[in-house]
């Protein structure tokens, strides 16, 4: 009897939990940051340019491409119930119009395995990287982008059988900020103009990192093109599959400096709401939150002087997730949400647990207020290639030896697995 009771509290017994039955608990990854040797992609080409903004090259990354089974097993053994990973367009369509059946089969094997072991796959179709040929042809600034992305989504649709959660594009708003970064590839001699681009992107690539504050605003052409591409992908997926379609948006917990409420509305529109508005007809939206910041006369203000900051220079704000979810709910008119990224770059794993505890308390309060949130996916499963910063900034629940590729879960991984197994009752 006692044993039975213990067993039931160790599984998803939802009594006295703020989290609904079936709430997903997992961790997120992205192909370029984890798979390794993404050699036909635009970012790979950018990393090789002399004078590139990247602190180091992605190289083998974590060899997720070959080690995915071990990693899904790890997710499962930790007690997590969902795994977000991406399908890499550059692998599936390395040459325009030539779709690699073997690569589609590779991704289908991962989906099959997740479904077989009871780990919910949450799939991203585009996570910042594109095929090199696409970037060379103008990328997300080109008139053709919507058709080309549509071709790719049509090729992927048949392998999505049995999948529920699909995000078309990851953080189109952050991509629209970084857009200039991939433009050297459109020129015959990209190295010749990389310095010029680096200079214009300096605030983005500086110490504060790519999600940071003094960045240029999202550019309007990639914004509009990505919205159109998302809508195209949504209609293709609705016609050919039974997945729930959404996309994932970086929601920055923006708050007006007193007296600057109209500035807040303007910045919020360009940075977030134009994308959240385009989500209104989606089945769900992914919310990605790391920090919160004030908006004043000159826009986003970044971490105020003297506050605690993380490795990426972002203010330590566990409460940002609650703000982001509430804003998303309002801006989308209340479509189902999933936290598809939330985490902290830190070398101190106890700080990761503390940050995530605060974030989950905010999420629990949001659920108690009746907002519809379907899952929490931590960023990120393993320390990985953090874009321009290379491997130095560590967001992972699991450490990876980059020579042997051995995975070592940190205390935070076991802690989050326990939270998952008690459906949130053991947050504290």
Closer to ligand BGC by CB, 172 or 190: give it.
172
Relative to beta strand 293-296, strand 373-379 is unpaired
Cβ proximity to ligand BGC: between 215 and 364 the closer is 215
Judged by beta carbon, residue 19 or residue 316, the one nearer ligand BGC is 316
Residues at the contact surface with ligand BGC, assessed by CB under 6 A: 30, 33, 170-171, 174, 211, 250, 288, 341, 379, 386, 395
Closer to ligand BGC by Cβ: residue 157 or 177: 177
Contact 399, 384 (CB under 8 A): no
Q: Report, in Å, the least distance between residue 98 CB and ligand BGC.
A: 27
Is 171 part of the annotated catalytic residue set?
yes
DSSP 393: S
CA 390, 186, 97 angle in degrees (round to 5)? 95
Catalytically annotated residue among 47, 103, 120, 171:
171
On whether the CB atoms of residues 101 and 412 are closer than 8 A, the answer is: no
CA 387 to each of CA 30, 44, 89, 170, 240: distance values in angstroms, whole numbers, following the listed order: 11, 11, 18, 14, 33
Q: Which of 138, 84, 72 is nearest to 248 (CA)?
A: 84
- Count CB-CB contacts under 10 A for residue 352: 26
Beta strands per DSSP E along 206-336: 244-250, 254-256, 285-289, 293-296, 299-300
Q: In whole angstroms, what is the distance from residue 191 CA to residue 193 CA?
A: 6
What are φ and ψ of residue 321, in 5° steps?
-60, -45
CA distances from 302 to 238, 419, 423 (A): 39, 31, 34
Q: 172 near 226, Cβ under 8 Å?
A: yes
CB of 162 to ligand BGC, least distance (A): 25
Q: What is the nearest approach in angstroms of ligand BGC to the Cβ of residue 170?
A: 5
Closer residue to ligand BGC (CB): 132 or 250? 250
Output the six-digit token pair for 269.
């529109």
Mind telling me the catalytic residues? 171
């Amino acid at each position: 009897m006692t044993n039975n009771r213990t067993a039931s509290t160790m599984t998803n017994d939802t009594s006295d939990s703020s989290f609904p039955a079936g709430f997903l608990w997992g961790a997120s990854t992205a192909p370029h940051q984890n798979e390794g040797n993404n050699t036909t992609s635009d970012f790979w080409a950018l990393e090789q340019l002399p004078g590139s903004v990247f602190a180091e090259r992605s190289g083998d990354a974590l060899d997720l491409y070959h080690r995915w089974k071990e990693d899904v097993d790890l997710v499962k053994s930790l007690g997590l119930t969902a795994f977000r990973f991406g399908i890499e367009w550059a692998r599936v369509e390395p040459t325009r119009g030539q779709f690699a059946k073997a690569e589609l089969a590779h991704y289908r094997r991962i989906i099959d395995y997740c479904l077989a072991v009871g780990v919910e796959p949450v799939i991203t179709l585009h996570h910042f990287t594109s095929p090199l040929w696409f970037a060379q042809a103008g990328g997300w600034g080109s008139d053709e982008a919507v058709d080309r992305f549509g071709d790719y989504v049509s090729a992927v649709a048949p392998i999505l059988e049995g999948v529920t959660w699909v995000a078309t594009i990851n953080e189109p708003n952050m991509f629209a900020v970084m857009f200039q970064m991939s433009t050297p590839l459109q020129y015959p001699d990209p190295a010749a103009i990389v310095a010029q681009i680096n200079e214009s992107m300096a605030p983005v690539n500086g110490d504060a990192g790519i999600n940071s504050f003094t960045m240029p605003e999202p550019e309007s052409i990639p914004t509009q093109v990505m919205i159109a591409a998302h809508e195209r992908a949504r209609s293709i997926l609705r016609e050919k599959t039974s997945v729930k379609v959404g996309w994932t948006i970086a929601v920055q917990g923006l708050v007006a400096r007193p007296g600057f409420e109209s500035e807040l509305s303007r910045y919020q529109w360009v940075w977030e709401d134009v994308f959240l508005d385009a989500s209104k007809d989606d089945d769900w939206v992914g919310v990605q939150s790391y920090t919160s910041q004030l908006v004043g006369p000159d826009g986003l203000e970044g971490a105020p002087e003297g506050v605690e900051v993380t490795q990426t220079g972002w203010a330590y704000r566990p409460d940002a997730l609650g703000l982001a979810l509430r804003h998303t709910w309002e801006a989308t008119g209340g479509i189902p949400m999933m936290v598809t990224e939330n985490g902290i770059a830190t070398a101190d794993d106890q700080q990761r647990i503390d940050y995530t505890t605060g974030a989950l308390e905010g999420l629990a309060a949001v659920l108690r207020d009746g907002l519809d949130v379907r899952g929490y996916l931590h960023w990120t499963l393993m320390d990985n290639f953090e874009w321009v910063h290379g491997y130095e900034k560590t967001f992972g629940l699991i450490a990876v030896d980059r020579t042997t590729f051995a995975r070592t879960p940190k205390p935070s991984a076991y802690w989050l697995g326990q939270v998952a197994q008690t459906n949130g009752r053991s947050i504290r």
